[in-house]
Structure 1
Amino acid sequence: MSTELLEGAPVALGGPRGMEVTRTLPSKHRRMVGAWCFLDAYGPHDVTEGPGMRVGPHPHIGLQTVTWLLQGEVLHRDSLGSLREIRPGQLNIMTAGSGISHSEETPAGHTAVLQGVQLWVALPEPARHLAPAFAHHPELPVVTDGGLTTTVLVGTLAGATSPATCHTPLVGAQIALAPGTDQSLPVRPEFEYAALVLDGAATVAGTPLKPGPLLYLGTGRSHLPLTADDATRILLLGGEPFDEEIVMWWNFVARSHEEVAAARAAWEAAATGGGEGEFGEVHGYAGPRIPAPPMPITKLVPRGRVRPA
C-alpha cells in the first residue's frame, strides 16, 4: 500500500511574534484525514523565559478543537464561561457549532517545557449548527499490549472507547512504543489514517518517521505495523473519508464564501460595537482579542479533502 509524506510548515501561533508551531494539516496536497482538518504540533519549547503560549480571544464556527499535551500546561477560557487548565494525559474538546470564542495561554504557575498538539475536526451537517459546548476529560482509556501503550483521545481503538463526543466516525490516539517494539496495531479498513511522530523515531508501515512530517496512510488497512528501537510516541489520526466539501478560512469551517464573510463581519462588529455578538465574550484574558484578517480578493469556494494534482 502506498503512503504519502506531508511536510509541515512553520507558523507563528496567534501572530508574527507568537510561539512557533509546525502545521501539517491542511497541507499542499491533502486537506483532511477523515474529519481531521487541522493539525499543529509545537515544542518542546522552553517557557521559563518569555510568555509561552499567548493566543488571545478569537472565534470559531463549524468545527471542534481538540487539545492534547505531552508536557506543560495550557489555560483555556471561552465565551461559555469555561475556565480549565489542561495537563498531559488530559483532553480538552470544544465544539464551536454555530459560534464560540476562546483564548489559550500558558498559566502563571507553569513547568519549564511546553509540548503538544492542537487539532480541529470539521463538523458535518447538521452538527455544525449545534449550540457550542466545551468538555474536559481528566482521564482517558489506556490499553497496554506488548510494546504498545495506546491512549484513546477520540473514538475507539484497541478495544477502548474515549468519552469524548464526536460527530463522524473518527479516531485519535497517542501510541507509546517501548524500546525494541515490533508489533502491528489492528485498525479499520474503511478508515483513512495518518501518523505523526511526537518524539523519538519509528518505522510506520515500512516508512521511517521522525517528528515533523505527517505520514498519510490511506484506507484499506486492517493492521498497522509499528517498530521502534527507542522509546517513541506517535499520534494516530483516522476516520471515514469526509465527503462534504468545506470552505476553511482563518478560524472558520463553513460551506460558502458568504457564510465565512458573515461570520467575520459578526466578529468585527462585536469588537467595534462593544457588545458580545453571536460569538459571546471571553472574560479574564489579559490582552486584546485577535482581529480577523481581511477577506480574500477572490471568492472562497468549497473544496474536497484532496487538492487536485
Structure 2
Amino acid sequence: MTMNPSTSLQNDVSRSISLRTRGHGQGPIVRLMSPSDLGRLLKPFVFLDLIDADTSLIGSMPLHPHSGIATITLITEGNLRFDDPDSGSGFIGYGGVEWMRAGAGVWHGKEMSAGTSARIQGFQLWIALPADLESAPVDSQYLEAHAIPQAGPARVIVGDYQGIRSPVRAPSGLNYLLVTLTAGQSWEYQPPAGHKVLWLSASRGTLHSPELVQAGELVVFTPGNGALKLKAGDKQDAVFVLGSAIPHPHDLKMGNYSVHTSLEALKAGEAKIAELGKRLQAEAGQRSGSVSVPIYK
C-alpha cells in the first residue's frame, strides 16, 4: 500500500487531505484499510474492502468467524439477496445495508447470495466495538433501501446526521454515509462535535475537496471538526462513502478474524469462535445437503 502525505491546503473552510491510498490487491476485491495499517489511525473504522465483482463470487465465500467487531456491507451498484431464518429474505441494493455485530463470536458468510444483477459494486467496513459491546451477543440487521433515511444526497447508513437517525443498531459516536452527487454538484459535510476522525472512499466518479479524489481511492482528512466541502467532477456522478467518528480510545488487539480492546477480551473472543467452530463441524454431518447455515452463533 502506498500512502503519500498531501500538501496542506490554504483553505479556511474545507478539511485538507493528510493521506491517500489505493490499497493493495487487484481484481474483484481491493483491501483499502486493515487494522494493522490505516485502521490504527482511523479507529473505530478498522477495515475497508472495495468490491467490484461478479455476483457468483459472493456465493463462493466460505463460512468464517469474527469477534469484537461489527461488519457493515453496503452495495453501491447492483444487488444481493439475503436469507436468514431470523430475518426473512430480501434484497440489498444501493442504499440498503447488512449490519452484523459479531460481539462475543460468530461464524457467517452464507447469508448473502446473488441477487438480480450480474455484478455488484460496494464496500465492506469493519468497526471496532467499544468495550461494553465487544463481548455482547450477536446482532444482525438486513435493511432494504426504503428503510434507510436520507438527508439531501446522503443516505444515513449508520449514526445521526442533520437530525436524521439511522435504524442500524450501531454504537454512538460515529457516522457512515453513502452519498451520490450528480456531475458538478457541491455538498458540505459538517461532522458532529468530537468527530475528529474523517475519511471517504469513492467507488465511481471524481470529487474535488478541492484536491482531486478519484474512484478507487481512500483519503484521510486532517483531524479536527472543520467542515468538508466537496464537488463532483463535471463528467459523471460521484458515488462515495464517508465516515466520521469520535476516536476509539483503545489500542487494537488483533487476531486473525478479531479486533478487541484488550488481550483478555481477544482471548475470550478467539476461544468462543473456536468453540463455535467445533460445534459447527460436529453438526455438519447431521444436516442434509440442502440445509445451509447463514449465521452460526
Short-chain TM bin: 0.7 to 0.9
Q: Name the counterpart of 2:6.
A: none
Q: Distance in 2 between matches of 1:114 and 1:33?
A: 26
Contact 1:54 1:105 (C-alpha < 8 Å) held by counterparts? no
Q: Once the 2 structures are TM-superposed, how far is the Cα of residue 266 of structure 1 from its aligned partner? A: 4.9
Aligned residue for 2:134, secondary structure, equals: helix
Q: Name the counterpart of 2:7.
A: none
Map 1:134-145; keep pairs closer than 5 Å: 134-138=140-144, 139-144=147-152
Map 1:65-214; keep pairs closer than 5 Å: 65-76=71-82, 84=89, 85-104=91-110, 107=113, 109-138=115-144, 139-144=147-152, 149-191=153-195, 192-204=197-209, 206-214=210-218
Q: Once the 2 structures are TM-superposed, how far is the Cα of residue 270 of structure 1 from its aligned partner? A: 5.0
* 265-274 or 242-251: bigger deviation: 265-274
**Identity fraction in percent:** 25
Q: Once the 2 structures are TM-superposed, how far is the Cα of residue 199 of structure 1 from its aligned partner? A: 0.7
The TM-score with structure 1 as length reference comes to 0.75
The TM-score with structure 2 as length reference comes to 0.77
Distance 1:109 1:214, change over 3 A: closer
Q: Name the counterpart of 1:6.
A: 20
> How many equivalent pairs are there?
268
Aligned residue for 1:131, secondary structure, equals: coil
Q: What amino acid does structure 1 have at the position aligned with 2:68?
A: G
Pick aligned residue for 1:60 from 66, 69, 73: 66
Map 1:1-40; keep pairs closer than 5 Å: 2-11=16-25, 19-26=28-35, 28-40=37-49
Gaps of 5+ in 2: 1-14, 284-289
Q: Once the 2 structures are TM-superposed, how far is the Cα of residue 25 of structure 1 from its aligned partner? A: 3.8
* 18-27 or 225-234: bigger deviation: 18-27
Q: Once the 2 structures are TM-superposed, how far is the Cα of residue 112 of structure 1 from its aligned partner? A: 1.5
Q: Distance in 2 between matches of 1:98 and 1:207?
A: 41
Q: Once the 2 structures are TM-superposed, how far is the Cα of residue 183 of structure 1 from its aligned partner? A: 3.8
Gaps of 5+ in 1: 13-17, 277-282, 290-309
Contact 1:194 1:238 (C-alpha < 8 Å) held by counterparts? yes
Q: Name the counterpart of 2:242.
A: 236
Distance 1:271 1:98, change over 3 A: closer
Q: Once the 2 structures are TM-superposed, how far is the Cα of residue 238 of structure 1 from its aligned partner? A: 0.7
Contact 1:170 1:238 (C-alpha < 8 Å) held by counterparts? yes
Contact 1:5 1:213 (C-alpha < 8 Å) held by counterparts? no
CA RMSD of aligned residues (A): 3.0
Distance 1:256 1:219, change over 3 A: closer
Please state which structure has a larger fraction of its residues in helix. 2
What are the Cα deviations for residues 158-205 of structure 1, in whole angstroms up to 9, with x where unaligned? 33211111223000001211222234232235212101112100112x
Q: Once the 2 structures are TM-superposed, how far is the Cα of residue 235 of structure 1 from its aligned partner? A: 0.7
